[in-house]
Amino acid sequence: MRPDEHQILLRPVLTEKSTLLREGHNKVAFAVHPSANKIDVKSAVEHMLNVKVVDVNMVNVRGKIKRLGRFAGRKPNWKKAIVTLKAGEKLDLFEGA
């Protein structure tokens, strides 16, 4: 089953590496629905955020093993999309006040 356009983008990924990509290479990272593909992500970003997308790269991120004392658990796997925006495009979503 394909996710709805509003369910594809789950949240932005805000890390040091994603901030450097955004500032230096005009790329933005999002956590996306596990069954989303590049075409879904491109259309969702263009329609919801009103920017032009040049390229989309996808990464399946493996969940890490976390320990609490002698008990071990596992964080869930998730999918990340790195979206390259057209030159001159900018998202106000990440700019602070």
Other C-beta atoms closer than 10 Å to the C-beta of 29 total: 20
Pick the closest to residue 62 from 36, 29, 34 (CA basis). Answer: 34
What distance lies between CA 38 and its chain's CA centroid? 11
What does the pLDDT read at residue 3?
79
Give the Cβ contact number of residue 9 at 10 Å: 21
Q: pTM for the whole thing? A: 0.87
> Are the CB atoms for 45 and 83 separated by under 8 Å?
yes
Encode pLDDT of 44-89 as tens digits. 999 999 999 999 999 999 999 999 999 999 999 999 999 999 999 8
Kindly list the structural domains of the chain, giving each domain's residue range(s) and its CATH number in brackets, ordered by start.
5-85 (3.30.70.330)
Q: Structure tokens of 16?
A: 């040091």
